[in-house]
Amino acid sequence: MSKVIETLTESVRGRVMTASDPDYDDARAVHNAMQDRKPRAIVHCVDSADVMAAVAASRDFGLDLAIRGGGHSVPGFGTVDDGLVIDLSPMRGVRVDPAKRVARVGGGATLGDVDHATYPFGLAAPGGVVSTTGAGGLTLGGGIGYLTRSVGLSIDNLLSADVVLADGRQVTASDYQNEDLFWALRGGGGNFGVVTSFEFQLHEVGDVVGGPLFYEFDDATAVLECFRSYLSEAPEELGCFFAWQIAPPLPFIPRHRVGNLFCVLVTCWNGPHEQAERVLRPLRDAAEVKADGVDVMSFPALQSAFDDLVPKGMQYYWKADFATEVTDEAIAAHVEHGEKTPNVNSSMHLQLINGAAQRVGADETAFGHRDKTFVPLILGIWPDPADNEANTKWVRDYYAAIHPYSGSEGGYINFMSGDDDHRVPANYGANYQRLAAVKAAYDPENLFHINQNIPPAVGS
């Protein structure tokens, strides 16, 4: 046994796995099967003490360190060849304080874990649109989802975080202590330390009126025009994103239309149910709705409704932007490339970061793109590595066609792929220099570098 494995085995309570373990291959697999890496050891941390020991071992033995929350990072930031992985999946407990409307969430919890714990109290923390995503990685990059328009990004609802730093200490970051660290954590990704627990403000969310509306592909221009105008002014309790979707066999899809390409508006109305018909009417009037999946459902049911379309073990290649508007030219480009959507798993999601998310100042958190409204995300997802070239080409061609109309170089750090490194400064926007200064204060040796990396500012 090597010295580092011996040290880890002696100092942590969780399991330390190496290539000699029979289930090593399962343990090293992340969501994106393209990221097939072989860590020296995977440390399943059960508490902050384990995390501190793993951070110390990485530092003392000079090993690259990856932090894994939910493992969803498309560039594979939750794993590393020949280094250490801090796997936080044993730390996924969620404690809800219904009186204060606050949840304490373990660093390795998924959005599904958070929803499961908060729903019985009629509460939710804003997350994304897929329940298997890690709350950790999603939150540290921003967190865009069904509730963004009404209560903001996930970071806008973060009250504090416990963080194990590069020097091995655990500190709490909030508006009242380590304020610079707290600022940086809210949008700066995994650059600053290992967050062992998050404290979130919760909101009243119980059963919502939501689900997908399917329209003919030929009506896409009308549907996109309606989406861009109506969702700029609609009540903020309405969350919505546009998507291409090859129809899977769902109960509300006519049998003979399964396999056809549609455009879809996925809705989430978290207001009074009796107002849902009125609020959704403009969307239903955008064009003829060919299949209607909107219903009253629990928020956890909506947040897990599309999990099967994005399973672990597929090939993932994405490209994304922020955009201030969706021009007519952009719509034409979307339609041209959307028509070539290669399979049932792949899509383009046009998400929204307006409403409450835009009422936070660009320098209040590290997420600087508060003037943007739209987040176009082209998702290439396919099962067979033999199809890598064709699928990545579809994503790249699509992106090249829409990017000139985005009006922004930066994109959402959580939607980047492995070949997007050159975009890092633009992704952090005007906050990049300040982030580099905070990095220099908390991680001067850049121990936490397997991420959308911010090198420490020299001379800070």
DSSP per position, 414-459: GG--TT-GGGHHHHHGGGHHHHHHHHHHH-TT----SSS--PPPTT
Where does this chain touch ligand FAD (CB under 6 A) — which range of 186-194, 230-238, 385-393, 430-438? 186-194
Tell the smallest beta-carbon distance from residue 10 to ligand FAD (Å): 24
State the residue number with the nearest CB to ligand FAD: 137
Q: According to CB under 6 A, which one of 28, 44, 72, 423 is a site residue for ligand FAD?
A: 72
Residue 190 is a binding residue for ligand FAD (CB under 6 A): yes
Q: How far is 110 from 431, CA to CA, in rounded Å?
A: 28
Tell the smallest beta-carbon distance from residue 143 to ligand FAD (Å): 5
Q: According to CB under 6 A, which one of 53, 57, 58, 77 is a site residue for ligand FAD?
A: 77
Residues 6+ apart with CB under 8 A from 70: 31, 78, 108, 110, 111, 132, 133, 134, 135, 136, 137, 138
Tell the smallest beta-carbon distance from residue 181 to ligand FAD (Å): 12
Bridge partners of 382, per DSSP, are 315
Query: Do 69 and 136 touch, CB atoms closer than 8 A?
Result: yes
Query: Any idea which residue has 């498309």 for tokens?
Result: 74
Q: How far is 141 from 133, CA to CA, in rounded Å?
A: 12
Q: According to CB under 6 A, which one of 63, 144, 173, 416 is a site residue for ligand FAD?
A: 144
Residue 140 is a binding residue for ligand FAD (CB under 6 A): yes
Where does this chain touch ligand FAD (CB under 6 A) — which range of 20-28, 124-132, 211-219, 433-441? 124-132
Tell the smallest beta-carbon distance from residue 137 to ligand FAD (Å): 2
Where does this chain touch ligand FAD (CB under 6 A) — which range of 52-60, 131-139, 204-212, 403-411? 131-139
Query: Do 244 and 214 touch, CB atoms closer than 8 A?
Result: no
Q: What single DSSP character describes residue 13?
A: S
Residue 14 is a binding residue for ligand FAD (CB under 6 A): no
Q: What are phi and psi of 10, to 5 degrees?
A: -75, -30
Region 402-441 residues binding ligand FAD, contact defined as CB under 6 A: 414
Q: According to CB under 6 A, which one of 83, 112, 126, 136 is a site residue for ligand FAD?
A: 136
Residue 145 is a binding residue for ligand FAD (CB under 6 A): yes
Secondary structure element (H or E) that encloses residue 329, with its range:
helix 328-338
Where does this chain touch ligand FAD (CB under 6 A) — which range of 118-126, 134-142, 202-210, 420-428? 134-142
Q: How far is 416 from 422, CA to CA, in rounded Å?
A: 11
Residues 6+ apart with CB under 8 A from 374: 228, 322, 323, 324, 325, 326, 350, 351, 352, 353
Query: Any idea which residue has 């850049």 for tokens?
Result: 446
Secondary structure element (H or E) that encloses residue 52, with its range:
helix 48-61
Residue 239 is a binding residue for ligand FAD (CB under 6 A): no
Region 309-348 residues binding ligand FAD, contact defined as CB under 6 A: 310
Q: Convert residues 81-120 into a mask of x (bound to ligand FAD by CB under 6 A) and - (unbound).
A: -------x------------------x-------------
Residue 459: Cβ within 10 Å count: 6
Q: According to CB under 6 A, which one of 83, 126, 141, 376 is a site residue for ligand FAD?
A: 141
Q: Which is nearer to ligand FAD, 136 or 211 (CB)?
A: 136
DSSP per position, 355-406: GGGGGS-TTTSS---TT--EEEEEEEEES-GGGHHHHHHHHHHHHHHHGGGT
Residue 152 is a binding residue for ligand FAD (CB under 6 A): no
Residue 211 is a binding residue for ligand FAD (CB under 6 A): no
Tell the smallest beta-carbon distance from residue 336 to ligand FAD (Å): 25
Q: Which is nearer to ligand FAD, 3 or 95 (CB)?
A: 95
Pairing, β 102-106 against β 347-352: unpaired
Binding site for ligand FAD (CB under 6 A): 31, 67-74, 77-78, 88, 107, 128-130, 133-134, 136-138, 140-141, 143-145, 189-190, 194-195, 310, 414, 451
